[in-house]
């Protein structure tokens, strides 16, 4: 097994024999009080049809209507918007809250972003020059989106890398820098700074057998230590680590969350429950002595191979109301400028239909939301929506496939967010090895 690694929390545990009240929180040099920041990834699981989120105008819209056929967002279902560079475009009218945020300059649209190893043209695609691994397969593309390494064999994610580099801002906190409210997440995996996974469906309660008042506390602690010490049983060892993290997490969070109920955020459904839990943790950020927080939220059901029109409507509504309620809560907390939320998905979907649904594509659109966002702008261009001689199509040997080659890479998108979180350029280049292939390292959608 691996050698013992210095762990922040185990250090804290040995230090906690000292009275903590005398332990003045002090950030490292890059962690000033004003630098407290929270980053929220909203992953749309299954490959969201983001070509239904926003649509272009003019001839491009006509191309889109013709190619998308019965799956197109029609003219009477659009909300008008403008960008100073690309001009007029529209939001789907099922996204009224996000449209309002755009109009209020609190939301930026990132067009046609996706997994890329390097800038990729149609000729590069046809020549199979340095393409992402296992294109069009769900879990592979989802993982590639999340790893940052551009390599499917790497288990770490770029959210976890950011956490690793900013964890010094949480040196007096007992809580992990990164937290998932949607189960396991490659995005948060990191060998140094491990994340914790919280359940928004259940209250975060103290573990009864481990409470100070429990008579079983000592013997249970002994059994955990025994399991941790026995490298011949790596499964029990890893579970013991998990139990210990669970104890730490429930101890520190159950108290803080009780103090931050956020009763004015009325959440309905699983997605809003996740966002509410994140909002409560952001509300408790200072109480938890955290300078930086990284969250993973998930909304599933986007793999709309069939019945897309029927399935997409409730999903878009959930996305819109959820994010709008969340941003309202953050604004009320007075933390708009220190919280940034962004969307991501496995891939964009095909422009072509399979009758009543769409297939796995490649590039797609994303939203970035928050007071620190350079909002009311669109970054990147809409792709061509033509079905004939489409220069952006990853086609099938000349036959139109409707899978759009991204113009912006996830690597650049990640780099921009990492820099906002306070990751240095050297660290950024380490966590995103393919960034060197792109001349633009920062897409500019965060205010500097």
Using CB under 8 A, which residues numbered 303 to 332 contact other proteins? 303, 305-307, 309-311
Burial of 16 (0-12, 13-18, 19+ CB in 10 A): exposed
Q: Which is nearer to other proteins, 69 or 444 (CB)?
A: 69
Burial of 324 (0-12, 13-18, 19+ CB in 10 A): middle
How many residues does the structure list for the chain?
448
Asked if 222 touches other proteins (CB under 8 A), the answer is: yes
Please report, as residue ranges, which positions from 132 to 191 form the binding site for other proteins (by CB under 8 A): 134-140, 155, 180, 183-184, 189-191
Q: Cα(69)–Cα(351) distance, rounded to whole angstroms? A: 9
Please report, as residue ranges, which positions from 337 to 356 form the binding site for other proteins (by CB under 8 A): 350-356
Q: Which is nearer to other proteins, 262 or 394 (CB)?
A: 394
Angle, vertex CA 288, rays to CA 215 and CA 168, nearest 5: 110
Q: Which is nearer to other proteins, 357 or 375 (CB)?
A: 357
Please report, as residue ranges, which positions from 241 to 270 form the binding site for other proteins (by CB under 8 A): 241-243, 245-247, 249-250
- Output the six-digit token pair for 13: 């545990």
Cα torsion 143, 189, 424, 153: sign: negative
Query: From the CB of 90, what's the least distance to other proteins, in Å?
Result: 21
Asked if 88 touches other proteins (CB under 8 A), the answer is: no
Please report, as residue ranges, which positions from 362 to 391 form the binding site for other proteins (by CB under 8 A): 387
* Candidate segments 13-21, 116-124, 220-228, 336-344, binder of other proteins by CB under 8 A: 220-228
Q: Which is it for strands 292-299 and 37-44: parallel, antiparallel or unpaired?
A: parallel
Asked if 402 touches other proteins (CB under 8 A), the answer is: yes
Asked if 192 touches other proteins (CB under 8 A), the answer is: yes
- Output the six-digit token pair for 33: 């009080």
Asked if 6 touches other proteins (CB under 8 A), the answer is: no
Asked if 202 touches other proteins (CB under 8 A), the answer is: yes
Residue 351: DSSP 8-state: E
Asked if 45 touches other proteins (CB under 8 A), the answer is: yes
Q: Please spell the DSSP secondary structure of 201-263, one letter per residue.
A: TS-----GGGSTT-TTHHHHHHHHHHHHH-TT-HHHHHHHHHHHHHHHHHHHHHHHHHH---T
Query: From the CB of 397, what's the least distance to other proteins, in Å?
Result: 8
Query: From the CB of 412, what's the least distance to other proteins, in Å?
Result: 25
Angle, vertex CA 206, rays to CA 201 and CA 208, nearest 5: 115
Please report, as residue ranges, which positions from 226 to 245 form the binding site for other proteins (by CB under 8 A): 226-227, 230, 232-243, 245
Q: Which is it for strands 292-299 and 178-180: parallel, antiparallel or unpaired?
A: parallel
Query: From the CB of 308, what's the least distance to other proteins, in Å?
Result: 10
Asked if 197 touches other proteins (CB under 8 A), the answer is: yes
Containing H/E element for 39? strand 37-44
The pattern of x and - marking residues 90 through 129 that bind other proteins according to CB under 8 A reads ----------------------------------------
Please report, as residue ranges, which positions from 274 to 303 form the binding site for other proteins (by CB under 8 A): 300-301, 303
CB atoms within 10 A of CB 425: 13
């Amino acid at each position: 097994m691996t050698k013992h690694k210095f762990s922040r929390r185990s250090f804290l545990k040995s230090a906690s024999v000292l009275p903590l009240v005398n332990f003045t929180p002090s950030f490292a040099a890059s962690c000033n009080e004003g630098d407290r920041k929270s980053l929220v990834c909203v992953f749309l699981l299954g490959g969201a049809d983001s070509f239904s989120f926003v649509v272009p105008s003019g001839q491009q819209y006509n191309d889109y209507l013709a190619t998308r056929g019965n799956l197109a967002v029609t003219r009477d279902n659009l909300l008008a918007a403008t960008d100073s560079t690309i001009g007029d475009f529209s939001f789907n009218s099922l996204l009224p809250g996000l449209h309002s945020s755009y109009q209020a300059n609190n939301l930026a649209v990132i067009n046609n972003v996706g997994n890329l190893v390097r800038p990729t043209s149609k000729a590069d695609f046809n020549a199979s020059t340095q393409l992402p691994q296992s294109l069009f397969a769900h879990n592979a593309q989802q993982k590639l989106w999340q790893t940052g390494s551009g390599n499917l064999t790497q288990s770490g994610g770029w959210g976890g890398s950011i956490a690793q580099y900013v964890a010094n801002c949480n040196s007096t906190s007992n809580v992990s820098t990164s937290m998932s409210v949607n189960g396991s997440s490659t995005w948060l995996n990191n060998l140094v700074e491990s994340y914790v996974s919280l359940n928004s469906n259940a209250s975060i309660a103290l573990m009864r057998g481990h409470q100070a008042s429990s008579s079983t506390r000592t013997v249970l602690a002994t059994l955990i230590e025994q399991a941790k010490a026995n490298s011949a049983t790596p499964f029990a060892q890893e579970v013991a680590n998990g139990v210990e993290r669970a104890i730490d997490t429930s101890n520190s969070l159950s108290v803080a969350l009780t103090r931050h109920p956020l009763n004015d955020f009325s959440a309905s459904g699983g997605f809003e429950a996740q966002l509410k839990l994140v909002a409560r943790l952001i509300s408790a950020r200072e109480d938890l002595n955290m300078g930086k927080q990284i969250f993973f939220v998930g909304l599933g059901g986007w793999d709309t191979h069939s019945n897309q029109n029927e399935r997409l409507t409730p999903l878009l509504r959930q996305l819109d109301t959820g994010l709008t309620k969340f941003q309202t809560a953050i604004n009320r907390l007075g933390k708009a400028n220190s919280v940034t939320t962004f969307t991501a998905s496995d891939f964009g979907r095909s422009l072509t239909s399979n009758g009543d649904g769409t297939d796995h594509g490649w590039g797609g659109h994303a939203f970035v939301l928050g007071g620190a966002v350079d909002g009311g702008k669109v970054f990147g261009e809409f792709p061509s929506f033509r079905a004939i001689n489409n220069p952006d199509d990853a086609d099938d040997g000349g036959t139109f496939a409707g899978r759009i080659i991204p113009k912006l890479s996830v690597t650049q998108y990640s780099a921009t967010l990492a820099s906002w979180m306070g990751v240095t350029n050297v660290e950024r280049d380490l966590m995103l090895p393919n960034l060197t292939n792109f001349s633009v390292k920062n897409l500019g959608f965060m205010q500097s």
